[in-house]
Structure 1
Amino acid sequence: MSNMFCLTDAKFVTPEGVVEGTLTVRDGKIDDLAPKSPSGNFETIDCAGDYIIPGLIELHTDNLEGDFQPRPGVIWPSRMLALHSHDSSLISSGITTVLDSVSCGQFEESKLRHEMLTMSIAAIKESKQKGLLRADHLLHLRCEVCDPYVMDMFLPHVDEPNLKLVSLMDHTPGQRQFCNIDKYKEYYKLEKLSEEEFGRIKDELVFQQDKNADVYRQEIIRLCHARNIPLASHDDTTPEHVYQAKNEGLVLSEFPTTVEAAQQAKKHGLGIIMGAPNVVRNGSHSGNVSARELARQGLLNILSSDYVPVSLLHGAYLLHSEVGLDLHDAFATVTANPAKFLGLDDRGTIEAGRLADLARISIIGDTPMVRSVWRAGKNVF
């Protein structure tokens, strides 16, 4: 006997637009979208006119690290409960597929980051094996290419079956995200240092960049290409950054900081990821380009919640309500588009044969609220 139910009296956001009717789910997959309910003895859920959208797909969130390290220098003793807290935040935000983005390297924090990396991957493996997770958790490794310990952290995990994305980062002050040195000091809480003290830190970071960045970048790229792991650049600022990424076979440009970089990314076929918090706050916390402005110019493919899971749905809806994208195009930035760029062809759209990863959404005033979530046809929220 098949496991079947229907969602009726709903507005379904499909790749072509919004369709009203009834969706049938059978054995964890979308079976049919029709104007009326089929006859039969099975559960029918009245959605009272709410929207049904595909479950959100998150490519870059470091929210997990906040649960593992709730205070500076504090690693939470139970890795399973830390992961469970993270998973709950995702599901309640409508996110059914997540690439947990964990850092490989961060200079003086490398020892702590190394511990969190190992704990995170172990917790995800164990929890998946025991069926404890509601979202589908995959892995994204964020590689700080200047860090002297990046390869020590990356190599043990390069063959993880859940590794679906690797990004190449360089947070050296004075370039990319931190062209503005004052923003660098603010972000890393270094404002109280004297110019001499900060100068010594900056000189050391520039030295490590000169020594390590190109060597480690090329080795990581080689390892990923050999395993068909997609690669992303990070904080592209100049056309040269994008040319380099394209020539190296990267497929995504994460958080470009200027219009010029985003234009070049589009020209060369790289997917453009921007932060949903940037959309919600109507500006970058680092003083870089507005995600809304890129969307208006057709220079945005994917949103990422980055550090606030609830921002993903909200940001996508604001692309519709305040930027002017059609609703199905706005929601595609958090569903169909990330699935496409990662080759996750079993999810991301409401179409027959796709996984029944779905979220029921009510619009309260101008805010989208998650009412229910299904993962592979199972009600998980």
Structure 2
Amino acid sequence: MTLLTNARIVLPCSVVETELHFSTDGLSAPGAFVPAASTDATVIDCAGDYIIPGIIDLHTDNLERQVLPRVNARWPSRSAFLAHDAQCAVAGVTTVFDSLSLGDINGRDRIQTYEDGIRDLVELSEAGALRADHLLHFRCELIAPDMQPLFEMALHDPRMTALLRLASLMDHSPGVGQYADIARWRAGRAKEGMTEAEIDAMQARVAAERAHHLEANRAYVIEYCRAHGITLASHDDRLEEEVARNHEDGITIAEFPVSLAAARGAHALGMDVIAGAPNIVRGGSHSGNVNAIDLIRAGLVTALASDYVPSAMLEAAFACVAQDILPVPEAIALVTDGPARIVGLHDRGRIEAGRRADLVQVRLYDGLPVIRRVWVGGHRVV
């Protein structure tokens, strides 16, 4: 049993100054007296810090950055996974949806990361080597010729399918979604060192692959996820027509919509909207699309995701507070209760009696949130 005293407990609708008891069996009601706590508890004085639920990150590509810290410098996969796990934990992320790409229009780097990542996730989890709780988010690149074989690779191992809780439909073709501005897309390839002829060839190849594979891959993923109860998200929606089609196909989440119109359309249809936390921390989109803070001001966002910086989750939530856009409980819900609800994780995301003791102690320093302690399932991991 652990007893937190002198804490500001962030509840769904309020912040209360009280004590909190928890154990590996779960949380007690905030402020409730637990007889065993008087003699058996480890007592921690939180010195007025916030105690929030553990952060739930539905989309993180952070593993890719540990695997390839520099161009042509691939890191050993298990070492990279452990570094990724540690970075998530120290950022207060207690539930991580490892977002692995099924298909790569630029080569094989992401494919190898997927192949190594699903193996490492299962083996490291079974060994008890991970600090956070890791689940799978399959980022299905619909235009990739090898998307279906990569998907089926995981279906042969029930340990992997048990971890698969979310899939998203990706189309990273030039002229679509976040790459609707083809000139900007071409400029990006040029910065990577490609010649005009190479960019032309790539654009033509991707267009041909899109024409051949997109619809078949889309139907395959939707059918599998519908049959197995896996939550489905669209990705980088720009047009209301795209959102309407996704809704008709049973997709319940619009992830990272790149226009205000798409976000409004999704919200009007009762879909959940995920925005990128780095967009808020940086003050805008890195690819020139809609500003996520505007979506939050409009009341359109259900959850934030780290995308590529785990620490952005908490910082973005408190940025919403600092800018007087949201009160603390609503801001914290964007990284805790909101993500938990939309993927059906009903055992976490709130500080309530009986829920998992996934907790984060946070202190503000000059407006920035600083992680002091982190518990996962009642075990201290940071």
TM-score (norm 1): 0.95
| Correspondence 1:125 to 2:126 | no
Partner of 1:163: 164
Residue correspondence of structure 1 range 7-46 to structure 2 within 5 A: 7-34=4-31, 40-41=38-39, 42-46=41-45
Give the match for residue 104 of structure 1. 102
Query: SS of the counterpart of 1:356?
Result: coil
Q: Say if 1:143 and 1:150, in contact at 8 Å, map to a contact too.
A: yes
**3-state SS of the aligned residue for 2:167?**
strand
Deviation at 1:220? 1.1
**Corresponding residue number in structure 2 for 1:306:** 307
Q: Which amino acid aligns with 2:316?
A: G
CA contact (8 A) 1:273 1:303 kept: yes
CA distance in 1, matches of 2:193, 2:85: 36
| Residue type at the aligned position of 2:227 | A
CA contact (8 A) 1:28 1:355 kept: yes
Give the 3-state SS of the residue equivalent to 2:261 in structure 1: helix
Partner of 1:363: 364
Superposed displacement of residue 311, structure 1: 0.7
After superposition, the C-alpha distances for 1:146-179 in whole angstroms (9 at most, x for unaligned) are: 0111112111114621011111000100121111
**Contact 1:146/1:213 (CA < 8 Å) preserved in 2?**
yes
SS of residue in 1 equivalent to 2:229: coil
Partner of 2:237: 236
Quote the residue 1:81 is aligned against. Answer: 79
Structure 1 unaligned runs (5+)?
A: none
Preserved CA contact (<8 Å) 2:104 2:111 = no
Q: Quick check: 2:190–2:196 contact (8 Å CA) kept in 1?
A: no
How does 1:48-197 map onto structure 2 within 5 Å?
Answer: 48-77=47-76, 79-109=77-107, 111-158=108-155, 160-190=161-191, 193=194, 195-197=196-198
Compute the displacement of 1:190 (Å). Answer: 4.8
Which residue in 2 is equivalent to 1:251? Answer: 252
More divergent stretch after superposition (192-201 vs 328-337): 192-201
Find the residue that maps to 1:157 and give its secondary structure: helix
The answer to whether the 8 A contact 1:8-1:37 is kept is: no
Offset, 1:16: 1.4
Paired residues of 1:21 and 1:33 also in contact (CA < 8 A): yes
8 A contact 1:292–1:323 mirrored in 2:
no
Count of residues in Structure 1 that have an aligned counterpart in Structure 2: 376
User: Could you tell me how far apart the structure 1 residues matched to 2:12 and 2:193 are?
Assistant: 51
Cα distance in 1 for partners of 2:241, 2:182 equals 21
Q: Does 1:318 align with 2:319?
A: yes
Q: Residue 32 of structure 1: CA displacement?
A: 2.1
Partners of 2:85 and 2:261 in 1: CA distance:
36
Residue identity matched to 1:334: V
CA distance in 2, matches of 1:380, 1:374: 6
CA shift, 1:247, in A, is: 0.7
Cα offset, 1:36, TM superposition = 7.1
Q: Which amino acid aligns with 1:138?
A: L
Equivalent residues of 1:53, 1:350 under 8 A apart? yes
SS in 1 for 2:117: helix
Q: Distance in 1 between matches of 2:180 and 2:54?
A: 36
Alignment check: 8 A CA contact 1:21 1:36 kept: no
- State how far apart, in whole Å, the 1-side matches of 2:25 and 2:374 are: 13
Matched-pair contact (CA < 8 Å) for 2:104–2:110:
yes
* 1:68–1:116 contact (8 Å) kept in structure 2: yes
Aligned sequence identity (%): 40
Q: Distance in 2 between matches of 1:290 and 1:34?
A: 39
Shift of 1:90: 0.5
The residue identity in structure 1 corresponding to 2:88 is L
Say which SS state the counterpart of residue 369 (structure 1) adopts.
strand
Provide the C-alpha distance between the structure 1 equivalents of 2:367 and 2:272, rounded to a whole number of angstroms. Answer: 28
Q: So what's the TM-score if we normalise by structure 2?
A: 0.95
What is aligned with 1:264?
Answer: 265
Equivalent position SS for 2:162: coil
Tell me which moved more, 358-367 or 179-188: 179-188
Residue 192 of structure 1: how far off its partner (Å): 5.3
